[in-house]
Amino acid sequence: GESVGLHLPTLSVQEGDNSIINCAYSNSASDYFIWYKQESGKGPQFIIDIRSNMDKRQGQRVTVLLNKTVKHLSLQIAATQPGDSAVYFCAENMGDTGTASKLTFGTGTRLQVTL
């Protein structure tokens, strides 16, 4: 089945702490995953991606972990800043096979950074 949008859960984190946002994906055939950040009234913004032949990938202040056994993806944000406040979505793709391959979005998590 496909991931279906549900009511957004919220994660509240104090500025400077690390954030961990989780995502359960639905399709065991998916082999490419992307994390997006969406601010209010805007389109999704790319954060980091990972292919299924990896279990960890690091970027600037962000790390994505992939556990294919349990179909779980997480996004870790180090030293969370107020500017990180947004809604975060994971997206899965069944085969990075070119421009026609579509993304399926997860539920999303609202990250609130408190001062």
Partner 1 sequence: GAVVSQHPSRVICKSGTSVKIECRSLDFQATTMFWYRQFPKKSLMLMATSNEGSKATYEQGVEKDKFLINHASLTLSTLTVTSAHPEDSSFYICSARAGRGRGGYTFGSGTRLTVV
Task: Considering the complex, state which of residue 3 and residue 30 has its C-beta at the smaller distance from partner 1.
Answer: 3
Question: In angstroms, what is the minimal distance from the CB of 16 to partner 1?
Answer: 27
* 83 phi, psi to nearest 5 deg: -70, -10
Residues that bind partner 1 (CB under 8 A): 3-8, 34, 36, 41-46, 49, 89, 96, 98-108
* 63 contact partners, CB below 8 Å, separation of at least 6: 48, 56, 57, 75, 76, 78
Question: In angstroms, what is the minimal distance from the CB of 91 to partner 1?
Answer: 8
Task: Considering the complex, state which of residue 13 and residue 47 has its C-beta at the smaller distance from partner 1.
Answer: 47
3-state DSSP assignment of residue 37: strand
